[in-house]
Amino acid sequence: MRNFSFHNPTKIHFGEGQIAKLGQEIPAGSRVLVTHGGGSIFQNGVWAQVEAALAGFAISRFAGIEANPQFDTLLRAVEQARRDHCDFILAIGGGSVIDGSKFIAAALCHAGEPLELLTGARAKAALPLGCVLTLGATGSESNPHGVVTHVARQEKLPFSSPLLFPRFAILDPCTTFSLPLRQVGNGVVDAFVHTIEQYLTYPADAPLQDRYAEGLLQTLIEEGPKALSNPEDYRVRANLMWCATQALNGLIGCGVPQDWASHLIGHELTALYHIDHARTLAVVLPALLAERREAKRAKLLQYAERVWQLREGSEDRRIDAAIAATEAFFKRMGVPTRLSEHGLDADAIPQVLAQLQRHQLVALGEHRDIDLEASERILLRAL
Ligand code: NZQ
Ligand code: ZN
């Protein structure tokens, strides 16, 4: 196992009715910028609970943080927060609202141009942030990362700072009952792929991290389809929500090699072709596993055996079967696995490669050997 430092300061309040704890988590007297997306929080009763819990606080509400949060929208929120002298941010929503709110928190305290925070400058300070999660998927509710879309540049720009861990996150599985089935599938696939990217590399003498990861993968496989067939099953929603948090709160990645190539290639597909984040992953990951089967052979065999119970036949047959099972699972979650299902053919690939080059994403994977030629082979397999 490699050396690591682990510190996750986000306090989690998990379960039905926990939104009522908001009032005790936000410091008394705070002026709160409350951020959210479109209308879902008004339709599913989340806003009513938040409003009741925030009685007595000065609130400035900013609506309209879109899926794949846009830089220009977030700048408007920064302006509003300055105007209203906000000193705390409460994000209500999924990964997009929380990521966007992290950017707002950092931009409010940044002396230079806000764009610098997305192009290499580390945040030196940030407003405190809390969140009410309504879509388990990204892990943003208890991690220090975010991704902001710059539409004019056709870019998804990641940023990260320990200052951006939410102070607290409220996870009430009931809030997810209203999710469209498309978002249920997306959430399960995103959490699944986050887990795979910290697990399916090469053996690193980390059996505990392996078993954490395998536990998450098996739980997602067992519970995911139940959320599609029985959307109001609290137990299922609770397990999925907690899996998604655990998949990207830093714990399973401690001390092990990681391969974020599917995410990095996927971000370019979203920026160029507006494919939902998780849907890019469902396209790229199976193709990447097939392309990287030699480098990942030992872990692919472990994955086949422990996650899919594939023990019969030659090594190559077990690996093929594990990759096919992965793709079939994504399909079972209603998530397409081919570029062609998104209306793209081989003509789209050069543009993706040009973006990867522009962003210097030319040495990806746990061995830093997924160059542009390898990315091209992965995308060709994904057609
Ligand atoms: O805007 P509203 O009306 O709220 O609708 C949202 C949105 O349209 C809807 N929704 C959310 N909760 C709902 C609901 N609808 C009904 N009932 C509810 N309870 O869902 C739609 C999608 O929401 P979004 O936040 O975009 O989804 P997700 O959580 O998948 O977030 C995706 C974003 O997170 C980034 C992605 O790149 C993408 O921008 N990621 C962030 C990461 C991180 N911070 O660590 C890691 C991830 O890999 C990912 O890159
Ligand atoms: Zn993701």
* C-beta atoms surrounding 234 within 10 Å: 14
User: Considering every ligand atom, which ligand is closest to the CA of 176?
Assistant: 1
Q: How many angstroms separate the alpha carbon of residue 318 from the centre of ligand 2?
A: 27
Tell me the three state secondary structure of residue 201.
coil
What pLDDT sits at residue 106?
Answer: 98
User: Considering every ligand atom, which ligand is closest to the CA of 95?
Assistant: 1
What pLDDT sits at residue 36?
Answer: 98
- What is the atom index within ligand 1 of the atom nearest the CA of 146? 44
- What is the atom index within ligand 1 of the atom nearest the CA of 281? 48
Question: How far is it, in rounded angstroms, from Cα 93 to Cα 214?
Answer: 28
Q: From 44, 71, 135, give the residue whose CB has the most ligand 1 atoms within 8 Å, as the site to mutate.
A: 135
Whether 94 lines ligand 1, by a CB cut-off of 6 Å, is yes
What pLDDT sits at residue 362?
Answer: 98
Whether 37 lines ligand 1, by a CB cut-off of 6 Å, is yes
Whether 137 lines ligand 1, by a CB cut-off of 6 Å, is yes
Q: How many angstroms separate the alpha carbon of residue 137 from the centre of ligand 1?
A: 7
- What is the atom index within ligand 1 of the atom nearest the CA of 183? 20
What pLDDT sits at residue 53?
Answer: 97
Whether 131 lines ligand 1, by a CB cut-off of 6 Å, is no
Q: How many angstroms separate the alpha carbon of residue 279 from the centre of ligand 2?
A: 10
Torsion from C-alpha of 48, 50, 53, 56, nearest 10 degrees: -90
* Domain parsing of the chain, residue ranges: 11-175, 181-381
Q: Considering only the top CATH level, what class is 11-175?
A: alpha beta
Whether 161 lines ligand 1, by a CB cut-off of 6 Å, is no
Whether 237 lines ligand 1, by a CB cut-off of 6 Å, is no
- What is the atom index within ligand 1 of the atom nearest the CA of 94? 25
Question: How far is it, in rounded angstroms, from Cα 263 to Cα 378?
Answer: 13
Sorted by sequence, the CB contacts under 8 Å of residue 189 that are 6+ apart come out as 278, 279, 281, 282, 330, 333, 335
What pLDDT sits at residue 292?
Answer: 98
What pLDDT sits at residue 365?
Answer: 98
> Minimal CA–CA distance to 105: which of 23, 1, 35?
35
Using CA positions, which residue lies closest to atom 38 of ligand 1? 68
What is the sign, positive or negative, of the torsion defined by CA atoms of 357, 369, 273, 245?
A: negative
- What is the enclosing helix (H) or strand (E) of 306? helix 297-308
Instruction: Report, as ranges of residue numbers, the positions in the chain whose pLDDT lies below 50.
Output: none
Residue 37 to residues 69, 83, 286: CA-CA distances in angstroms? 9, 20, 31
What pLDDT sits at residue 141?
Answer: 98
What pLDDT sits at residue 354?
Answer: 97
CATH superfamily membership of 181-381? Dehydroquinate synthase-like - alpha domain (1.20.1090.10)
Question: How far is it, in rounded angstroms, from Cα 268 to Cα 276?
Answer: 11
- Indicate the pTM of the whole model: 0.98
Residue whose structure tokens are 């137990």: 235
